[in-house]
Each structure stands twice: as structure tokens, then as C-alpha cells.
Amino acid sequence: MSQQLMSQPVRAIDELMAGYAAGTLPPPLQCLVATHLAIKPENRSFVSALEDICGTALCETPAGPVHDRDAKLAAIFAQQMQPDPASPVVQCAVVPSPLSTFLGAGVADLPWRRVLPGVKEFKVPGGEACEAKLYWINPGRVMPSHTHDGSEVTLLLQGGFSDPTGHYRRGDIAIADAELDHHPRADDDEDCICFAVTDAPLRLTGPVGRIVQRLFGR
């Protein structure tokens, strides 16, 4: 079910939220949305969007309509956000639970790898239908121009960045697909830390990027 969803670009927040509520997203994306809601608990407007997109599926069962839809959704969320009792409790001001539990460490304690000047990444293990990475980008750093063969869903955890689709700050979710060619620029005021889930490799498109891509075969 999750592979079916991820075979198509996630084109809108509503679609992402609908997949989250239905529990059909791959675990990293379920975690991304749950962490978004942990940072912005007031952001429950997606429930109304769910009504438009998959309200029928959520509200009706073969036995008849379910009248306590909100309670049912709350139960779904509670179940998904429940950490594994065997997992250590991780306290991190930048990365709240459930992502910190998913990572198993605070953001400062992860084994970051420098991939470009001013850019570090940490590949989150365990992704099968998609790839999950954390990026740590220095203030003002511009990422290489790239596009996507699939979708890229990014949750901002600290600082912010801008691209042609807008300006994103902590708690915001940015969605990019194959139609977007962008080079996000980190805000100047602080390091930008974000959690990105992709279902296909990025494709570098700038003149330097194309050479790098040829060298590394991606």
C-alpha cells in the first residue's frame, strides 16, 4: 500500500495528510508528519482537508457510518505516535519525538557526514520504499540545482530555507516533485536542519552538478 502511494509524487499537503491519517505512508513519512504535528499541535486543519479527500473512506465502514470520526483519527494518531517501549527516550530541543525516537539520538549526537562545503547529511537507516535523510546546512548556503524523479518531502526542524515554492521555517513541510527544478537557499540567521524523505534519487541539473553526477554515477 505504501509503495503504491510512493509510486506517484506526493503533490500536495492534503494528499500527504490523507495518507498519514490512513496509515498508508512508509514509516519515515508517517514519522515526518507526526513530527510536524508535534511541532505545530495547533495545525489540525488538515482534518477538514481529509474530509474532502478521503472523508468517505474514513467515515464509512461496511457496517455503516462512523459517527465519531475525530475520535477515530485521534486513536490512529495516538497509535502511530506511540514510541516503541524498548526504545530509549531521547530528549532533543531541535528534533522532537517521534522523530528523535526514530533516530535514536539527539541531532548533535548523530554521525553526520560532510557532503559539500557547509552541508552535512545523515542517512536514516531502514528506509525501503523511500530514502530518509537529515540535512544540516550552514546559514546562507545555496544547495546545488536539482530536480527529482519522484517526490521530496522536507520538514524544517531549525532555521529555514527558500526556493521558488516559498519560504519555510521550523515545522513547515515543503513538497517538491519532478516538475520543480530548484536550489534551496538556507536563511542567513542560523543553521538550517531539515528532515527530507525522497522516493527516487535527486538529479543535479546545474553545470557543476551535472559533472558531479556523472562522476558519481547518479
Beta-strand relationship, 60-61 and 166-169: unpaired
Question: Does 131 sit near Zn ion (CB under 5 A)?
Answer: no
Residue 64 burial by Cβ neighbours in a 10 Å radius (0-12, 13-18, 19+): exposed
Exposure string for 24-48, b = 16+ CB within 10 A, e = fewer? bbbbbbbbbbbbbbbbeeeeeebbe
Question: Does 197 sit near Zn ion (CB under 5 A)?
Answer: no
Q: How far is the CB of 137 from Zn ion (least distance, A)?
A: 12
Question: Does 172 sit near Zn ion (CB under 5 A)?
Answer: no
Which residue number, 97 or 152, has a Cβ lying nearer to Zn ion? 152
Which residue number, 29 or 176, has a Cβ lying nearer to Zn ion? 176
Which residue number, 87 or 165, has a Cβ lying nearer to Zn ion? 165
Region near Zn ion per CB under 5 A, out of 16-24, 73-81, 170-178, 205-213: 170-178
Q: What angle do CA 101, 28, 123 make, to 5 degrees?
A: 80
Question: Does 173 sit near Zn ion (CB under 5 A)?
Answer: no
Q: How far is the CB of 177 from Zn ion (least distance, A)?
A: 9
Q: Tell me which of 176, 194, 197, 204 binds Zn ion, using CB under 5 A.
A: 176
# binding residues, Zn ion (CB under 5 A): 2
Question: Does 199 sit near Zn ion (CB under 5 A)?
Answer: no
Q: Tell me which of 18, 26, 35, 152 binds Zn ion, using CB under 5 A.
A: 152
Residue 102 burial by Cβ neighbours in a 10 Å radius (0-12, 13-18, 19+): buried
Which residue number, 53 or 187, has a Cβ lying nearer to Zn ion? 187
Which residue number, 65 or 166, has a Cβ lying nearer to Zn ion? 166
Q: Distance (Å, rounded) from C-alpha 6 to C-alpha 20?
A: 12
Which residue number, 157 or 176, has a Cβ lying nearer to Zn ion? 176
Contacts of 151 (CB under 8 A, 6+ apart): 6, 9, 10, 11, 175, 176, 177, 198, 199, 200
Q: How far is the CB of 8 from Zn ion (least distance, A)?
A: 17
Q: How far is the CB of 184 from Zn ion (least distance, A)?
A: 7
Residues that bind Zn ion (CB under 5 A): 152, 176
